[in-house]
Structure 1
Amino acid sequence: VMNVPFLGWHLRLAGHVPVDRNKGKDAALAVTEAFEGVLRNEKPLLVFPEGTRTADGKMKPFKNGAFQAAVLAGKPVVPVALRGTFSLMSRNEVDTGGSKDRADRLVTVKIGESLYPNLELEEPEAVADLRDRTRAAVVRMLSEPSSAQGVAESARQL
């Protein structure tokens, strides 16, 4: 995505952290350090913890990087559940907003309560605990019925 003309440029200017998947553990360490720096500077950090878009629409296991950064920085994680995004853009597709056929699709966003790292645990256990509690919160929010129809109708009127 970072190499897509204009989109990649915008992402870099906005401070997005690129991930070079070809660098394996070196990339993971660099990303975790970048995440931790953002959090220590009291800036918000949005991470999609699965690390990629799903090929089948099902939620994948969460990766540790963002949770390790949260534990090291002593910062909370706010779980966010997104429903309906899979139908907007498939895995290897890049859409810069010109597709009108997606205008009527409904996306539901649910925001959970802040989850704080358990700093009484050793780092690896604290990371796994925060990751697992966050994933459980997202799964729980996704299983709740959606009440967003009124919001969707209001948004269309704008």
Structure 2
Amino acid sequence: MNDLRIRTAETHEAEAVLAFWALAAEGTSITDDVDGVTRLIQRDPGALILAESGGQLVGSVIAGWDGWRCSLYRLAVLPSHRRRGISTALLAAAEERFTAVGGRRGDAMVLEVNELAQRVWEAAGYRREERWRRWVKPYAEPAAGH
């Protein structure tokens, strides 16, 4: 894609990102609200990486860095724009960010039922880690529909 632009999100874009995720991402999270996205951007301004084409939001990835770990979430591409190298460009930007801050390994959160996403991550050089399982405890009630 010749007009693909990769950039970080700004706080005023939280609603647009949420609308994009409703179209392009699998599953929802307890943090899928304007406050959650805004807090992410304020806390770690380089974390939410967006892809635009023709002025339209077509892809996203969260590349979170907490000073200890490199965490990847919400790799999503608009269905009409898939298989055009957008996820590759987003992951390259995330990996560049992690390398610049001294990150040593990226960990991606991928839904078990999302086989398409698993193939994308595998093609990008990531592998499933069998030794670990995710343990969670919500500290707040999820918003309706999550």
Q: Considering the TM-score relative to the shorter chain, is it more than 0.5?
A: no
Rg (Cα) greater in structure? 1
TM-score scaled to structure 1, two decimals? Answer: 0.32
TM-score of the two chains, using structure 2 as the length reference: 0.34
Larger strand proportion of the pair: 2
